[in-house]
Chains A and B, each alone.
Chain A
Amino acid sequence: AQTVTQSQPEMSVQEAETVTLSCTYDTSESDYYLFWYKQPPSRQMILVIRQEAYKQQNATENRFSVNFQKAAKSFSLKISDSQLGDAAMYFCAYGGGADGLTFGKGTHLIIQP
């Protein structure tokens, strides 16, 4: 079974600074995909970024980028120029097929003004 580990229960960063959230996963599959979702206080899960395992190039979406290390099974999220609206729970998730995603326990990101 796949597992996803987020070792940082909480992170704090000053507004406009850069923060990196860590995620590691365990799988025996070679073809899969990884996600970062954001859950603001409204609790709706919002897709931040997606990475295909077969792609060596790291995904980027505006201020959000990932560092995907397939051999190390590591998938970290970097948020540049942090904004107050970035404050939320961030979940790393693994997907291997048409069934559901496996989620980590989340990292609570605090933005200090």
Chain B
Amino acid sequence: SQTIHQWPATLVQPVGSPLSLECTVEGTSNPNLYWYRQAAGRGLQLLFYSVGIGQISSEVPQNLSASRPQDRQFILSSKKLLLSDSGFYLCAWSRQGLKETQYFGPGTRLLVL
């Protein structure tokens, strides 16, 4: 069966510091991968998605970037965090295809102070 991991689970960072959140998927190959952000009391906003190694699509301009160095690894980064980057970050995966269900990881709580 497939599993998706995210770490760290919780992170508290000062404004202006760098960020690296990691997501890995097990039990499948060549998945589509996604990063979402959930602000307090809001739904999920798609940040990035990837259909293959090195292929990243960005949905919104922001202070964040994403990379996919390996088939089942997806990384969310920032060079300098802003207060507005605080939130709950969720990684998801789906099988390749146009109408595949997305399955979510446990998420990372990020607080920027």
* Interface pick from B21-29, B65-73, B77-85, B103-111: B103-111
Tell me the bound Cα distance from A42 to B105 in angstroms.
11
Identify A101's interface contact among B57, B102, B107, CB under 8 A.
Answer: B102
B101 at the interface (CB under 8 A from A): yes
Given A98-B51, A98-B98, A100-B34, check contact A44 B44 (CB 8 Å): no
**Once the chains bind, are B32 and A98 in contact (CB under 8 Å)?**
yes
State which size class the interface on B falls in: 20 to 34
Residues in B whose Cβ lies below 8 Å from that of A45: 44, 90, 92, 104
Number of A-B contacts (CB under 8 A): 63
What per-residue 1/0 map shows which CB atoms of B34-75 lie under 8 Å from chain A? 101010011111100101000001010000000000000000
Interface class of chain B by DSSP: strand
**Once the chains bind, are B107 and A44 in contact (CB under 8 Å)?**
yes
Identify A91's interface contact among B43, B57, B97, CB under 8 A.
Answer: B43
What per-residue 1/0 map shows which CB atoms of A42-69 lie under 8 Å from chain B? 1111110010100000000000000000
**Once the chains bind, are B107 and A43 in contact (CB under 8 Å)?**
yes
Tell me the bound Cα distance from A102 to B34 in angstroms.
12
What per-residue 1/0 map shows which CB atoms of A66-98 lie under 8 Å from chain B? 000000000000000000000000010101011
Residues in B whose Cβ lies below 8 Å from that of A37: 104
Task: Please report A residues at the B interface, Cβ cutoff 8 Å.
Answer: 4, 31-33, 35, 37, 42-47, 50, 52, 91, 93, 95, 97-106
